Every structure is written in C-alpha cells, then in structure tokens.
C-alpha cells in the first residue's frame, strides 16, 4: 500500500481516494465519521479496511458508491478510473453504481427483497445498465448463478430468497454484483453473517472470481483473520481516521500503531488461557488516538 504524494496520483489507478471526509450534521454539531482517508487501489488487487463498529469503514464504502444519506457532506476526492465521483449528481452516479462499481452487503437475507425471485433481482441489475430483453438478461443471470457455483440455476432462478441458505443468498448477492462485470467490487462484511465453514467457501469464491474478472476489491471487515486471507494491502481505521496502512504482511508481522497491536491482541487464540477476552476500548475515544502510521 503506497501513499502517493498529493497531486501526483497516477491516472492509471482504478480507484484513488484522497483526503476523503464524511461529515454528518447532528443536533450537537457536525460529526466527522470519516476524516483524512487516502488510498489507491489497482485492478486485480484487494484492499482490506479493518476496524471496529463505528470506525467509519462502512461510511467509506457508501461514500464511494454515492449511497450516503442526503444530509452527509463528502469532502476530498474519489477518482474512479480517473474520473471524479464526489459532488456528481445522483443520476450520473446511478450509471456507475452496479455497472463500474458494485457492492456486496453484510446480511444477504435482508439485502434481498423477499417479494421477488432471485432471477428478477439479478436481471434488474443487469437491465439497469444494458438495454437487453428479459430473455437475454435471464441468460446472463443463469450464467452469473453458475459462476457463483449455485447448482441447478435453471430451477433456482425462479425461487425466492427465503428458499436459499445463508451462504447461497450471499452467492446471489455476489452474482448481482458481478453481472455487469464491474471494475470495482466493494464487499462490506460479506461473510460476517455466515457460518465459519460457509465463510471460507464464500471467501474462496470471491478470490477466484476476482482473479477471473480482474476487478479491484475493497474488503471491509472487523475480522483481521479474514483480511489476512484476502487482502494484499490493509488500512486500519479507528473513529473515522486511518491509523495505519501497509501491506498485509507488514501489518500482521510488525504492527506499528498501538491500536493495530491492540486489535491483533484482541484475537483469542486456542493456546491462550484467558479468564476473559481482551478489549481494545482505550482507543475508541478520538482524543487518545496517536498519529497515523504508514508502514511502507
């Protein structure tokens, strides 16, 4: 993970985020949920964004997708394929959403509409960006379902989300995200709601598909173990600010920031004999957050 000097961001990055800030007005004054976040992502690469609840990871992904609530104020710059997305109209962003960039959400059950077949929910994503007939879109959906390794797509395409298991639902979400062959996939805690065994399958699937399509991926999670499996680079976030960034090996082998060390220490190990789980609580207040560290 390289932090480029301001103004010298090469145009060939898939995604270049510079000085990103997200601010919400509240009755007690404005709150910065993301501040001073910069990173780049190239095609075929995976960037892990790690942090606790409320660290601003999901807000970052929603800011990139242009899906933040209307009262959120976004500052800084987000260049997708070299073109600015901050301050674009919703109609313009809509053309990018689902097409150039797609998102896989945390809870696949509530993220799918229970009233419609999975087939419709995949084809509508495709037809939003490609002017094709229902029949053609259905063929694409069948192909996408086969791609995410759902057996009997011909039969399953006309079923409803509640007829699928958790892992299968997440495969549908991935099929929705992949059907327009996006350049950028943002996965926001895609395996958090799943069983550990299913988690491993989904992670393997996502890694395979990424290799196949060459898309860039942002993988957001609070699970450091998951990040170590999928990401080449990692950003650790705390209370909306990046506290450490670097390659995955560097972060895991030699964490420089005390918060990162605390996070890594909080992972329970089988050979530990703990009375209670370790906490990372002293870092949740912004005042005590030491300056950010770039490990590379």
Residues that bind other proteins (CB under 8 A): 65, 67, 90, 94-99, 102-103, 105, 107, 110-117, 121, 124-125, 128-129, 160, 162, 173, 176
**Cβ closest to other proteins, residue 3 vs residue 94:** 94
Residue 47 pairs in a beta bridge with: 218, 233
Q: How far is the CB of 240 from other proteins (least distance, A)?
A: 21
**Cβ closest to other proteins, residue 64 vs residue 224:** 64
Kindly list the strands in the beta sheet with 83-84, ordered across the sheet, starting from the edge strand earlier in the chain.
31-41, 15-24, 73-80, 83-84
Q: How far is the CB of 174 from other proteins (least distance, A)?
A: 12
Residue 233 pairs in a beta bridge with: 47, 247
CB within 8 Å of 220: residues ≥ 6 apart: 48, 49, 57, 58, 60, 61, 186, 187, 188, 189
Q: How far is the CB of 290 from other proteins (least distance, A)?
A: 34
Q: How far is the CB of 161 from other proteins (least distance, A)?
A: 9
CB 99 within 8 A of CB 182: yes
Alpha carbon distance 19, 78 (integer Å): 9
**Cβ closest to other proteins, residue 160 vs residue 252:** 160
Alpha carbon distance 189, 49 (integer Å): 10
Residue 251 structure tokens = 């972060």
Alpha carbon distance 23, 43 (integer Å): 29
Alpha carbon distance 150, 174 (integer Å): 11
User: What is the chain's length?
Assistant: 296
**Cβ closest to other proteins, residue 172 vs residue 243:** 172
Q: How far is the CB of 113 from other proteins (least distance, A)?
A: 4
**Cβ closest to other proteins, residue 99 vs residue 244:** 99
Tell which residue, 115, 109, 85, has the closest CA to residue 97: 85
Q: How far is the CB of 277 from other proteins (least distance, A)?
A: 29
Cα→Cα distances 11→7, 48, 79, 228, Å: 11, 22, 9, 28
**Cβ closest to other proteins, residue 81 vs residue 284:** 81
CB 207 within 8 A of CB 44: no
CB 82 within 8 A of CB 15: no
Q: How far is the CB of 178 from other proteins (least distance, A)?
A: 12
Q: How far is the CB of 197 from other proteins (least distance, A)?
A: 24
**Cβ closest to other proteins, residue 111 vs residue 147:** 111
**Cβ closest to other proteins, residue 123 vs residue 295:** 123
């Amino acid at each position: 993970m390289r932090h480029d000097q301001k103004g010298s961001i090469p145009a060939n990055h898939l995604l270049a985020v510079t000085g990103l800030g997200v601010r919400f007005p509240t009755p007690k004054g404005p709150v910065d949920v993301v501040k001073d976040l910069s990173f780049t992502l190239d095609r075929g690469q995976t960037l892990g964004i790690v942090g606790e609840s409320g660290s601003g990871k999901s807000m970052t992904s929603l800011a990139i997708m242009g899906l933040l609530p209307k009262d959120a104020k976004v500052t800084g710059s987000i260049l997708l394929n070299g073109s600015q997305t901050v301050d674009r109209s919703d109609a313009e962003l809509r053309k990018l959403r689902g097409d150039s960039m797609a998102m896989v959400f945390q809870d696949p059950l509530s993220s799918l509409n229970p009233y419609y077949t999975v087939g419709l929910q995949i084809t509508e994503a495709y037809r939003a960006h490609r002017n094709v007939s229902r029949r053609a879109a259905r063929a694409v959906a069948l192909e996408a379902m086969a791609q995410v390794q759902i057996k009997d797509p011909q039969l399953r395409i006309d079923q409803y989300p509640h007829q699928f298991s958790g892992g299968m639902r997440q495969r549908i979400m991935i099929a929705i995200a992949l059907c327009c062959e996006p350049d950028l996939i943002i996965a926001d805690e895609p395996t958090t709601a799943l069983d550990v065994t299913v988690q491993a399958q989904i992670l393997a699937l996502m890694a395979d598909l990424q290799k196949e399509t060459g898309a860039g991926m942002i993988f957001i999670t609070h699970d450091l173990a998951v990040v170590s499996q999928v990401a080449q680079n990692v950003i650790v976030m705390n209370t909306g600010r990046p506290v450490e960034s670097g390659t995955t090996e560097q972060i895991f082998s030699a964490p420089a920031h005390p918060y990162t060390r605390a996070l890594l220490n909080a992972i329970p190990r089988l050979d530990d004999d703990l009375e209670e789980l370790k906490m990372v609580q002293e870092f949740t207040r912004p005042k005590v957050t030491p300056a950010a560290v770039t490990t590379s």
